[in-house]
Structures are given as structure tokens and as C-alpha cells.
């Protein structure tokens, strides 16, 4: 494979929401990124009518996405929905400070009540993963364009249903894989990958070695009156309540998400696919499990390896939630290997390491915008390195909304990446069984058992949006 890769017709995304085929993904993405310039910022700031915005899921990243949107465009925060009254109150208090009108948003504990008003231009979905599909589809049906956090779904059928809903209702849907809008990664793609400095690319490695797997044995306790635990759980299995499900505790359970693979690999695989112009993997396999951190309630893997196979290229993922990282400068990262050099890249930096003396090393640093957005510095739990990327991601989303075109992280691309990671987990659960997914027929080729497992059962009375 020679860099940069040329995407096939089946790997590309359309330039219009009226089309379901995949055309001009790379060129559309480049054009969309070009709109995240100061000119686009000024154009959006000059908009006469603020966009009416609603937020579903007022936890950490739901609020973070909302504040980033408020920083780059005139908006009216109309509604906020969360089954936790404490989360709601905190979000409303900050929203009153952040918007010019100082008006308090309406509050809801049930997203269906919020959306039946059908008065929102944009809905941000920042709920836990097991809710993404139902929340996003309902928002599209209510006539809103949607910004949904990754992973888009907890099973493959949910993702298919979300893609279908976006095309059917002609809604713009941006996925929160903001690495495509990260300045130093955009520069590294253009100056290293697209410029051909890597030569023939034959291998990719991706990793996460953060100790981020919550693991403990908190006792069962009464559900506080401030939390509607039934609504928080929704279509997922109802676990006995053992304390606040927030602060990453829910991420440690398969009932609500897909572990480190569904949380962290998604970012890196999506970035690799974007940088190299890759679509669906030809085959996926994975092994791993709970090999070290056996005490505690967590049921997600603490160690896992996955291989995503492409023509002349394997992209290999590795995570450990224990031990040390092989490269302490790149504990969560991707490594693209070519015969002329290597590109290391993370959310914090990137480095090109040439083979031999034909080229010089090139270093890229993360952009921070503390001076331009001083409120970032005092914001609770903000990811300062991610804030500039998310702002640009929001600008790209808004430009696509105005033009009725596809954003750089369109729902189809989010579905490909999410589904690939979910199938890696299925492979691991089945002892490393290789999975070949046919996106046209929406089946796992030659494997009826895995095809059936592309859909998780929902807890009654919630109805799964996908087809078995």
C-alpha cells in the first residue's frame, strides 16, 4: 500500500444528504475542514437568529460539548434533559451564565417529553452509550440535526438504524470523533501522510495504556430520590444500584458500553481510517479478557488485542489497564509504519521519524487556546487539549447544517468505526473467531451465530430500533 491511500467507491461518503451512496468522502471532509477557518467563525457569529439547542445527557461530556458549541456560535440553550436532578441543576446553572439571555433552560427527566415539543434546531446527545441510538433517532424524528458522542451505539444493529434514520429524515449527524478536527493531527495528515513521506505503508499499531478501568466492590445502597434509576438504565439490564453510575463507573460494565475498545480504540481507529482513506475492514479478530485485575465488579477486559485487516495493511489495537506504556510519550496513540518512516500521533503531539537521512524529523504540538477562551482554564473537568478540536468540530457541524451536506465525522463514518470495534469485542468473546462483515447485506459472512449477536436484547418495554 502506498501513502496516501486512494479510497474505493464503497469507502467514500456522499456530498449531499439526499444521497445514500458513499461519494467524495475525503474531498468532502477536506472541504468541511476548510470551513473551520476564522472566516467561517465570523460568518457563524454574525448569524441573526440563534440556533435553538437541546442537550440529552448532562454529565461530563454532554456539558463539555454544549459549552464548546456556545463558544463558537450564537445559540439559545432551550432544553436540558437528564434523569439525575443533580446533573440537571448543575447544567442549568452554568447554562444561565453561558448564554447571553441569562435565561434558564427548560428541564426534563424524560427525553421523549423534551422532544415532543419539536422546537429544537440541534440536539446534542451526551448520554451513556446504551442510550445513544434511541436518543439520536428520536431527535432526528423530531426534526433536529444531531451531534452524538462516540461510540454511536452499543450494538451494530443500532448503528445501522441510526444511519438509516439520518438518511431517511435528511438530518445532519456529526459524531464526536473530533480527532478529524484536531489541528496538529490535520497538519500531520497533510504534511506527512498526504505528502507521501511515509512511503509504502504496511502496518499500523494503535494503543491505550491508561489505567482507566474503574474496578471496585462498592456495597448496594438505596437509589437516591434525585435519580430516576429506571430511566437512567432504560433499555440496558437493570443492575443492582451500588452508587452513582457517573464518573466512569458505568463504563466499567458491558451492560452499558463496550469497554476500552468501545471508548478509546474508536478514536484511534477512526483517525487511522481518516488519515489513510480506509473503509470497512475486510476481517476483524480479537483476543483478551480480564487477565490481571480480577478483583472487583468490572466485567470489561483489562487486556485486549484486536486486528483490523485491510488490503496490504493490518491495523492492530492493544490495550492494558495495568502496567506501563512502552512509549511513555504516547500512551494513547497510533503508529503508522512506512518503508520511508514512521508517524507517531496522539491527542497531545505527533512525530515523524524518517528512515535514514533522506528526510528530517518533524514534530507537531497540540494547540491550546487558553488566551482566546479564558473560561476554559476554570471550567470543571475540562480536557484542555481537546477543547480546540471540539470547537472546530462544532464549526464543521454547523457549516454542514447550513449547507445540508455531510460533516467531516458523518454518522456513516462513525458507524463504520463503531461497528468495527463492537465486532472486535464479539470476536474476543468467541475466543478470537474471525469476523467478516458484509455492510451491504448487513450480515457476518458464513456465521449466523455472530450475525444474531449484532443485536443486543433490550429490556422491556423499550424497543430496539434495528432489525434482527
Residue 421 has pLDDT above 60, yes or no: yes
Tens of pLDDT, residue by residue over 214-233, are 999 999 999 999 999 999 99
Residue 177 has pLDDT above 60, yes or no: yes
| Res 40: pLDDT | 52
Stronger pLDDT, 16 or 425, i.e. the higher one: 425
Can you give the pTM of this predicted structure? 0.90
Residue 25 has pLDDT above 60, yes or no: no
Which of helix, strand or coil describes residue 138?
Answer: helix
Residue 48 has pLDDT above 90, yes or no: no
- Report, in angstroms and rounded to the nearest whole number, the Rg of the chain calculated over CA atoms: 21
Strand-pairing partners, residue 307, are 285, 316
Q: Report the distance separating Cα 430 and Cα 450, nearest Å.
A: 9
Going by their DSSP bridges, the two strands 145-148 and 122-125 should be labelled as parallel
Residue 273 has pLDDT above 90, yes or no: yes
Ranking 182-191, 244-253, 429-438 by mean pLDDT, the lowest is: 244-253
Q: Report the distance separating Cα 242 and Cα 54, nearest Å.
A: 30
Share of the chain above pLDDT 70, in %: 90
Residue 342 has pLDDT above 60, yes or no: yes
Average pLDDT of the chain, as a whole number:
91
Residue 45 has pLDDT above 60, yes or no: no
Q: What is the mean pLDDT of residues 379-407?
A: 96
Tell me how far the alpha carbon of residue 313 is from its chain's centroid.
Answer: 24
Burial 28-40 (b: 16+ CB within 10 A, else e): bbebbbebbeeeb
- 4-13, 95-104, 392-401: which is most confident: 392-401
Q: Report the distance separating Cα 7 and Cα 16, nearest Å.
A: 18
Residue 7 has pLDDT above 90, yes or no: no
Query: Which grid cell is 185?
Result: 493531527
Res. 1 pLDDT band, cuts 50 70 90 = very low
Tens of pLDDT, residue by residue over 293-331, are 999 999 999 999 999 999 999 999 999 999 999 999 999
| Res 223: pLDDT | 97
Share of the chain above pLDDT 90, in %: 85
Burial 387-408 (b: 16+ CB within 10 A, else e): bbbbbbbbbbbbbbbebebbbb
Res. 468 pLDDT band, cuts 50 70 90 = confident
Write down all domains in the chain, each with its CATH number in brackets: 22-178+387-410 (3.40.50.720), 183-215+245-368+416-452 (3.30.360.10)
Ranking 98-102, 155-159, 425-429 by mean pLDDT, the lowest is: 98-102
Residue 155 has pLDDT above 80, yes or no: yes
Q: Which helix (H) or strand (E) holds 123?
A: strand 122-125
Q: What is the mean pLDDT of residues 239-243?
A: 96
Tens of pLDDT, residue by residue over 77-124, are 999 999 999 999 999 999 998 887 888 999 999 999 999 999 999 999
Residue 189 has pLDDT above 70, yes or no: yes
Going by their DSSP bridges, the two strands 349-354 and 362-365 should be labelled as antiparallel
Residue 44 has pLDDT above 50, yes or no: no
| Res 97: pLDDT | 87
Amino acid at each position: 500500500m502506498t501513502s496516501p491511500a486512494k479510497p474505493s467507491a464503497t469507502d467514500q461518503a456522499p456530498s449531499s444528504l439526499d444521497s445514500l451512496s458513499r461519494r467524495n468522502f475525503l474531498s468532502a471532509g477536506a472541504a468541511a475542514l476548510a470551513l473551520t477557518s476564522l472566516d467561517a467563525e465570523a460568518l457563524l457569529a454574525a448569524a441573526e437568529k440563534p440556533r435553538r439547542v437541546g442537550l440529552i445527557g448532562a454529565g461530563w461530556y454532554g456539558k463539555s460539548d454544549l459549552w464548546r458549541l456556545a463558544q463558537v456560535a450564537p445559540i439559545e440553550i432551550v432544553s436540558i434533559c437528564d434523569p439525575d436532578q443533580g446533573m440537571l441543576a448543575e447544567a442549568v446553572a452554568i447554562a444561565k451564565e453561558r448564554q447571553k439571555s441569562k435565561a434558564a433552560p427548560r428541564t426534563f427527566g424524560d427525553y421523549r417529553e423534551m422532544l415532543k415539543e419539536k422546537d429544537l434546531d440541534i440536539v446534542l446527545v451526551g448520554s451513556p452509550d446504551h442510550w445513544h441510538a434511541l436518543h439520536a433517532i428520536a431527535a432526528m424524528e423530531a426534526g433536529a440535526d444531531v451531534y452524538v458522542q462516540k461510540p454511536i451505539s452499543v450494538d451494530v444493529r443500532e448503528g445501522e438504524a441510526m444511519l438509516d434514520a439520518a438518511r431517511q429524515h435528511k438530518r445532519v449527524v456529526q459524531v464526536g470523533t473530533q480527532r478529524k478536527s484536531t489541528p496538529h493531527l490535520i497538519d500531520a495528515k497533510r504534511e506527512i501522510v498526504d505528502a507521501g513521506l511515509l512511503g509504502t505503508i504496511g502496518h499500523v499499531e494503535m494503543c491505550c495504556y491508561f489505567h482507566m478501568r474503574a474496578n471496585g466492590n462498592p456495597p448496594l445502597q438505596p437509589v437516591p430520590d434525585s435519580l430516576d434509576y429506571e430511566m437512567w438504565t432504560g433499555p440496558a439490564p437493570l443492575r443492582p444500584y451500588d452508587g452513582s453510575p457517573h464518573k466512569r463507573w458505568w463504563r466499567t460494565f458491558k451492560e452499558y458500553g463496550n469497554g476500552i475498545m468501545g471508548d478509546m480504540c474508536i478514536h484511534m481507529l477512526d483517525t487511522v481510517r481518516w488519515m489513510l482513506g480506509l473503509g470497512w475492514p475486510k476481517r476483524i479478530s480479537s483476543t483478551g479478557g480480564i487477565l490481571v485485575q480480577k478483583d472487583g465488579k468490572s466485567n470489561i477486559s483489562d487486556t485486549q488485542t484486536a486486528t483490523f485487516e485491510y488490503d496490504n495493511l493490518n491495523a492492530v489495537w492493544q490495550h492494558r489497564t495495568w502496567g506501563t506504556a512502552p512509549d511513555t510519550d504516547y500512551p494513547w496513540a497510533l503508529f503508522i509504519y512506512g518503508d520511508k518512516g514512521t508517524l507517531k500521533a496522539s491527542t497531545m503531539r505527533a512525530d515523524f521519524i524518517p528512515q535514514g537521512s533522506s528526510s528530517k524529523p518533524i514534530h507537531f504540538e497540540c494547540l491550546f487556546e487558553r488566551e482566546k477562551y479564558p473560561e476554559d482554564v476554570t471550567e470543571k473537568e475540562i480536557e484542555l487539549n481537546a477543547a480546540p478540536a471540539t470547537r472546530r468540530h462544532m464549526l464543521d457541524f454547523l457549516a454542514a447544517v447550513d449547507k445540508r451536506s455531510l460533516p467531516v465525522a458523518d454518522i456513516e463514518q462513525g458507524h463504520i468505526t463503531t461497528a468495527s470495534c463492537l465486532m472486535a469485542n464479539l470476536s474476543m468473546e468467541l475466543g478470537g473467531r474471525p469476523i467478516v462483515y458484509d455492510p451491504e447485506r448487513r450480515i457476518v459472512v458464513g456465521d449466523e451465530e455472530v450475525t444474531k449477536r449484532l443485536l443486543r436484547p433490550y429490556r422491556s418495554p423499550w424497543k430496539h430500533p434495528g432489525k434482527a
